Amino acid sequence: MESAGIWALIETEAEKVDSITFELLSEGRKLADKIKGEFAAIAFGSNVRKLIENSIEELSLYGLDKIYIVEDDALKEFDSKVYADIFSELVKIYNPQVVLCSATSLGNELACRVAAKLKTGLVTDCTLLETDTKGQLKATKPIHEDKLTGIYTFSSKFPQMATFRPGLIDPDPAKESVKPEIVQPEIEISTNVFSAKFIEFFKGDPKTIDLGEADVIVAGGKGLDSKDGVTILEQLAYLIRGSTAGSRVAVDKGWLPLERQIGQTGKRVSPQLFVAMGISGAIQFQMGMKDSKKVISINTQKNAPIFKISDLKVVGDLHQIVPEAIKQIKALNEINASP
C-alpha cells in the first residue's frame, strides 16, 4: 500500500487543542511539503469530534489534508496502552511515512510504545526535523545534557518516528484556510487497561520544593554582603519562579539555611537555569551546580571562576543590576496583566 505521508498527534488541554500542537503542525507541514505527500493529524478522546470542530478554524491554517479521530468513552483519560494499541492499528492501516508527536510526557510515552509495537525507529526530543523527497527523516536533537547536538538518520524502515520539543518555535499559520477532512475509522478499542489512578496534583512552590527538583535556582554568595541581600535574591527568584540557594559562605554567615547550600558539602543540583549572584565560583561550589543546563552569573570581578562555566556573564554590581531587573520585570508583568 502506498505510504500516506506525514502524521502528527494532536494533544489537548482543557477541551481545546493544546498550543504546542500548532508548533508540531508547523514543523510537520514543512516535511509534508518536501515529500509532496499527505499531511494528517490524529486525535483521540471521549469527546474529540466536538473538540476538533470547535478548533477547526485554527486547525485549517496548518495545511492539514485530513484529521483522523477515534472517539470512545474509554479514551477519556490518557492510557498509554490503550492509545498505543489504537495508534499502531491506524499506522498499520494507513501506512504513514513519518509519525510525529510533541516531546511531552504523554507524547514520548505514546511514541515509545508505538515504536516498540511496530519495531520501528524513533528519536525523541528533537529540535529540528528535516526530510528528503522520499521521506527519509533527519532528526536533530540535544545530547550530553544539552552540551552538544546530534543528528540522527534512519534506516529504510517506515514509519519513521520523532517527538518534537515544545516551546522551541513559534507556530507558523498559513494565510489561507483549507479545511481538512475529518475521518473517523472503525477501530476496536481494547478494554485491557492498567491505567494509573490519579490521586492529586501538587503545584510546586519554588519556595518549598527540594532544590534537587527545582527547574530554576537563584543563588547568592559573599557578594550579597548581608542578610538584606537575600531579599534581592528572593524577589528575583519569585519573579522567575525559582528557588533560592546559597554558597557555603552565605550559609556559614547565616544568610540562608543549610538545606539551601550548594556545593561539594551541600547539594548537587542540575536545574534548567542557575543564576549565581555575588558568587566567585570556587571549584567546590562549581561541583554542586556544573550540570545546570544554563548558567547566568553576576559578579563585579571579571576574572571570577564562575564566569568560565557561565552561559551569560554579567559583570557588575548585583545590588544595582538585580533591583533594576526586578523593577523592569514587574513593569512588564503589569503591562501584560492589564487588558
Chain positions 166 to 195 lying near another protein, rule: CB under 8 A, are: 167-170, 172, 194-195
CB of 66 to another protein, least distance (A): 27
Binding test (CB under 8 A) with another protein, winner from 197, 254, 303, 339: 197
Contact flags string 214-253 toward another protein, x per CB under 8 A = xxx---------------------xxxx-x----------
CB of 255 to another protein, least distance (A): 22
Binding test (CB under 8 A) with another protein, winner from 124, 131, 261, 292: 124
Residue count of the chain: 339
C-alpha atoms less than 13 angstroms from C-alpha of 84 in its C-beta half-sphere: 21
CB of 164 to another protein, least distance (A): 12
CB of 242 to another protein, least distance (A): 8
Beta bridge partners of 297: 276, 313
User: Cell for 158?
Assistant: 517506515
Torsion angle of C-alpha atoms 38, 44, 48, 51, degrees rounded to 10: -70
CA proximity to 47, closest of 11, 66, 72, 67: 72
In the complex with another protein, the residue whose CB is nearer, 256 or 322, is 322
- Binding footprint of another protein, residue count (CB under 8 A): 97
Taken in order 44, 46, 49, 51, the sign of the CA dihedral is negative
Cβ count near 290 (within 10 Å):
15
Question: What whole-number distance in Å separates Cα of residue 140 and Cα of residue 21?
Answer: 19
Binding test (CB under 8 A) with another protein, winner from 15, 76, 116, 184: 116
CB of 9 to another protein, least distance (A): 15
CB of 197 to another protein, least distance (A): 4
Residues 96-116: b if buried by 16+ CB within 10 A, e if exposed: bbbbbbbbbebbbbbbbbbbe
Terminal CA-to-CA distance of the chain, rounded, Å?
Answer: 53
CB of 226 to another protein, least distance (A): 19
Binding test (CB under 8 A) with another protein, winner from 76, 92, 157, 227: 157
Question: What whole-number distance in Å separates Cα of residue 89 and Cα of residue 335?
Answer: 49
In the complex with another protein, the residue whose CB is nearer, 177 or 333, is 333
Determine if 314 is a binding residue for another protein (CB under 8 A).
yes
Site for another protein in 251-310 (CB under 8 A): 270, 272-273, 294, 296, 298, 302, 310
In the complex with another protein, the residue whose CB is nearer, 30 or 253, is 30
CB of 147 to another protein, least distance (A): 4
Binding test (CB under 8 A) with another protein, winner from 2, 191, 200, 226: 200
Binding test (CB under 8 A) with another protein, winner from 181, 204, 225, 259: 204
Question: What whole-number distance in Å separates Cα of residue 43 and Cα of residue 196?
Answer: 21
H-run or E-run covering 69:
strand 66-71
